[in-house]
């Protein structure tokens, strides 16, 4: 579906650093239309957020008699976003987080932004993932264990009794991009292709000797120069070394726990494979619908309070 001629009872918005995704929603949760753009938070000044949103959703508004609720999550609520929305400290129930009303210039929309979640010790924050977690708990309300959300900044989240108890963030995805695209290793790393055996070997190596990570990364370059390491194998080894080092640091989260990995299918599968090699039978889910489900839960709270 695309922006097309549709109308929305409410609009769901996932606004990240580099990407904006929107859905025209019916009151019963049906998707009537969807659209996306590259107008992420990182490329917008504060006065650019509303025009960027309206560029996508205006066809769904028409001449509506009352403002259409817009429920947004992610970096839109950060200090550099449309409006800074305070964090809620753990422990907290993500499904009970109240979206915060934010003023708009266009009277056809009524904007609400989800608060992020913070942790004092060790210091950590999330924006957007709390809504994914809320969506996950709509689907699995009795879950007690650890939810891994792999991505640019991977989150390991301990959930119990419907609450986020604690979490840790790892910059694994961002490190992979920086090293593969901007470091000396970029000359020998492919954009596509994958060597599963090389990946699994690198995960095992990094898990057993995480202190050697910096040395093992340069070894990828050396093996390419001296031993003909293929660009596809180099990509796989880099991924394995970084994910293995992450698993070594996150061991208290996954060891002896029920673990669910929810992310983009290909990336989530890599985490699932890496955990399986450690004897952890993690369930792997496509995180695609979770944010939208979490935003739907938030919309329900708005409807209940304004009814």
Q: Provide the whole-model pTM.
A: 0.91
State residue 179's pLDDT score: 96
Rounded distance, CA 292 to CA 290, Å? 5
Domains (ranges, CATH) in the chain? 10-127 (3.30.420.300), 169-286 (3.30.420.310)
With tokens 């129930």, the residue in question is 93
State residue 96's pLDDT score: 93
- According to DSSP, residue 10 is labeled E
Tokens of 131: 């809504």
Q: Could you report the per-residue pLDDT of 100-111, keeping only the tens digit for each? A: 999 999 999 999
Q: 10 Å Cβ neighbour count for 85?
A: 22
Determine contact, residues 7/290, Cβ cutoff 8 Å.
Answer: no
Residues of the chain with pLDDT under 70: 1-5, 64, 304-307
Rounded distance, CA 307 to CA 301, Å? 10
Q: Is the peptide bond before 91 cis (omega within 30 degrees of 0)?
A: yes
């Amino acid at each position: 579906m695309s922006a097309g001629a549709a109308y929305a009872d409410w609009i769901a918005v996932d606004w990240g650093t580099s990407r904006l995704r929107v859905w025209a929603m019916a009151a019963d949760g049906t998707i009537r239309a969807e659209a996306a753009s590259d107008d992420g938070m990182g490329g917008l000044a504060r006065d650019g957020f509303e025009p960027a949103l309206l560029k996508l959703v205006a066809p769904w508004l028409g001449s509506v008699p009352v403002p259409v609720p817009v429920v947004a999550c992610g970096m839109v609520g950060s200090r550099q976003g449309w409006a800074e929305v305070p964090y809620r400290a753990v422990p907290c129930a993500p499904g009970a987080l109240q979206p915060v009303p934010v003023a708009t210039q266009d009277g056809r929309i009524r904007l609400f932004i989800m608060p992020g979640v913070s942790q004092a010790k060790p210091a950590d924050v999330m924006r957007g993932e709390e809504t994914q977690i809320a969506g996950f708990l709509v689907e699995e309300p009795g879950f007690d264990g650890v939810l891994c959300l792999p991505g640019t900044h991977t989150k390991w989240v301990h959930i119990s009794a419907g609450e986020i108890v604690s979490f840790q963030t790892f910059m694994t995805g961002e490190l992979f991009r920086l090293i593969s695209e901007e470091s000396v290793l970029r000359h020998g790393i492919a954009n596509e292709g994958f060597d599963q055996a090389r990946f699994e070997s690198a995960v095992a190596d990094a898990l057993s000797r995480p202190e050697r990570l910096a040395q093992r990364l340069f070894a990828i370059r050396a093996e390419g120069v001296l031993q003909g390491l293929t660009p596809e194998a180099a990509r796989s080894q880099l991924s394995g070394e970084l994910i293995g080092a992450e698993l070594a640091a996150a061991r208290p989260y996954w060891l002896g726990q029920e673990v669910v990995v929810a992310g983009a299918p290909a990336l989530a599968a890599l985490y699932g494979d890496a955990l399986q090699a450690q004897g952890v039978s993690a369930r792997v889910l496509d995180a695609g619908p979770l944010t939208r489900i979490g935003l739907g839960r938030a919309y329900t709270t708005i409807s209940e309070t304004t009814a």
